């Protein structure tokens, strides 16, 4: 397939054709109908397509629902309205087909398992025979450059190393989409920059599709092919900024003028989310509105 081997160019207006993830009209309301607690509109009418081998960052102020959106994509929670399609399937089907890899802000490693056994965990659940399991976990640990620590316990590793184990574990099933929820949020700045390079290298090698939640602007620009800027109350995507940096990123990328321009662009989009006049977004919002009217209430 030539289509999947050429990376999707961020310029195309309607989003990628071979979208791995398609969100349309996704809304999330917490509380409300039960009457208990205040009704909170976490997300309103989110439309987003993520193409194969794309790296899309969700960035926004805290409380803008970016983590909620990620959990909806991963079918960890169900949206109040709208549809989520992953690999042309409903999100639930995709989860049951094990299309996802998840990485959280905390590594969530199991203390009672060695590093190697932690990486093997998803393979155990999917019933991979032990010989293949070991080989695959070794391969993944090599990818994150932690082969020497396979027999250690997670708590004997540094925070950055633990997060690399979590990434190795997430990649063990060779997921078609990797969902990362502020994976480096708890790390210090220097470790974070190193981890960004590492993650970029892994992404370039595995060609996995990534949706990445972050609140770090430089991180989002450095890693992504597109940055979706979100605004809060209710959470929505106010602007999508294509990152037209060379696909291969390295230490020098952070010193490029274009990089600084993009960082500024994201920062400005975050500062004034409502003054957004991007035709792409408003077009989508119009379409979503039309759909909402057509479908009517009660959906």
Q: In whole angstroms, give the CA distance from residue 291 to residue 297.
A: 11
How near is the Cβ of 21 to another protein at its closest, in Å?
15
The reply to whether 186 sits near another protein by the rule CB under 8 A is no
Separate counts of helices (H) and strands (E) for the chain: 10, 10
**Which C-beta is closer to another protein: that of 104 or that of 203?**
104
Q: How far is the CB of 99 from another protein (least distance, A)?
A: 10
Site string for another protein, 22-61 (x = CB under 8 A): ----------------------------------------
DSSP conformation letters of 108-157: ---TTS-HHHHHHHHHHHTT--HHHHHHHHHHHHHHTT-GGGTTS-GGGS
Q: In the set 4, 83, 126, 132, which binds another protein (CB under 8 A)?
A: 126
Backbone angles phi, psi at 270, to 5 degrees: -70, -35
Nearest-angstrom CA–CA distance, 163 and 179: 14
Of the two residues 124 and 286, which places its CB atom closer to another protein in the complex? 124
Residue 211 token pair? 């949706």
Residue 151 touching another protein (CB under 8 A): no
User: Quick check: 98 binds another protein (CB under 8 A)?
Assistant: yes
Q: Which H or E element spans position 159?
A: helix 159-171
Rounded distance, CA 2 to CA 110, Å? 40
Under rule CB under 8 A, which residues in 64-93 are in contact with another protein?
Answer: 71, 74, 76
CA pair distance 22, 224, nearest whole angstrom: 18
**Residues 22, 89, 138, 153: which binds another protein (CB under 8 A)?**
153
Q: In the bound complex, what is the minimum distance in angstroms from residue 112's beta carbon to another protein?
A: 5
Q: Which residues bind another protein (CB under 8 A)?
A: 71, 74, 76, 95-98, 100-102, 104, 106, 108, 110-112, 121-122, 124-126, 153, 155, 173, 179
């Amino acid at each position: 397939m030539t289509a999947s081997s050429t990376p999707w160019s961020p310029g195309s207006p309607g989003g990628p054709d071979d979208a791995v993830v398609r969100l349309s009209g996704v809304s999330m309301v917490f509380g409300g109908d039960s009457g208990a607690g205040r009704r909170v509109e976490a997300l309103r009418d989110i439309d987003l397509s993520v193409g194969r081998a794309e790296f899309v960052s969700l960035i926004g102020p805290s409380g803008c629902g970016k983590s909620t959106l990620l959990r909806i994509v991963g079918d960890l929670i169900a949206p109040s309205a709208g549809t989520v399609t992953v690999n042309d399937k409903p999100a639930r089907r995709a989860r049951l087909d094990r299309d996802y890899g998840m990485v959280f802000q905390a590594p969530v490693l199991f203390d009672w398992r060695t590093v190697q056994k932690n990486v093997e965990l998803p393979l155990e659940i999917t019933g991979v025979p032990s010989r293949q399991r070991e080989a695959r976990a070794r391969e993944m640990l090599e990818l994150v450059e932690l082969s020497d620590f396979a027999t250690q316990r997670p708590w004997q590793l540094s925070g950055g190393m633990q997060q690399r184990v979590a990434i190795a574990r997430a990649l063990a099933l060779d997921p078609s989409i990797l969902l990362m929820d502020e994976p480096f949020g708890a790390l210090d700045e220097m470790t974070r920059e190193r981890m960004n390079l590492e993650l970029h290298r892994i992404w370039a090698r595995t060609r996995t599709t990534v949706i990445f939640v972050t609140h770090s602007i430089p991180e989002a620009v450095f890693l992504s092919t597109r940055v979706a800027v979100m605004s809060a109350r209710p959470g929505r995507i106010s602007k999508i900024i294509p990152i037209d940096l060379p696909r291969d990123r390295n230490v020098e990328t952070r010193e490029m003028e274009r990089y600084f321009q993009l960082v500024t662009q994201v920062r400005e989009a975050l500062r004034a989310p409502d003054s957004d006049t991007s035709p792409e977004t408003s077009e989508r919002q119009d379409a979503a509105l039309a759909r909402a009217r057509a479908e009517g209430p009660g959906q």
